[in-house]
Structure 1
């Protein structure tokens, strides 16, 4: 039986924090997971899936600011969405996302995430939609084009708030910008 609980980074006990980090590095591998990627998961809400007291899934919702045209949107950005390999395709990812999406809808204007190729069908089936236009980041030297992210950013909600003809710009951070 899988139980899902939600906890802020400030209340995440050291053992759960360590287990979440280890799970992400185990599933994504050292080539796709960095310490900067892990740090992007911190400072918001963690959704933990536990089976027999063991962590089998994780998702984080962190607050970011996205700019679209002249609108600044409080965004629940998903990071570190992962299910242990031997527990995938059993509905655990859906349970994680149910709770993560609840947090997004309750506390943010929109949700956003950078999808992997493997994750796209899963997110589309849940109602996330691909951002159709160009992506940018607002950095120390102004706007910076992030063309490598075009087509990989997915949004939840905000249909009436977003102008698809305008750029989508994220706030700056170290490592992967999106």
Structure 2
């Protein structure tokens, strides 16, 4: 990663944290103590998830995840990392490439003015590390989504119908 890319990432991260602080400040001034407490707890959870992701020692994937919301304008992602994930550092580049390929395929099935909310969850299944990527929104082109499941590193693709012509697409990837 080049220095200017690091500076850009730091700038985006700082901007997000400043937005959170300004929101806390506003709620505090309005006397909305419950909202202040809720946002503080949310910020602590986010910082803890960032720490757990960082501790996996997968820098390419870490940077990809942290910059995701600025890179993919139609998608917003949250992430969760379970405790006790086996070492996956040696697969870092491969993990990032898999995630990029999946999101590119999802982008091909995205509607132009739709915002897709998602969760990236790094966890274990039967003792093996996996990545579960879930997005909800109004997808088109079911064939693109089904074709994702034909890739070797994809363990599962599940598509569920939701109200208002929306769907939830869950893709489970191997880490190795």
Higher relative contact order (CA 8 A, sep 6+): 1
More helix per residue: 1 or 2?
2
Query: TM (normalized to structure 1)?
Result: 0.28
Query: TM (normalized to structure 2)?
Result: 0.29
More strand per residue: 1 or 2?
1
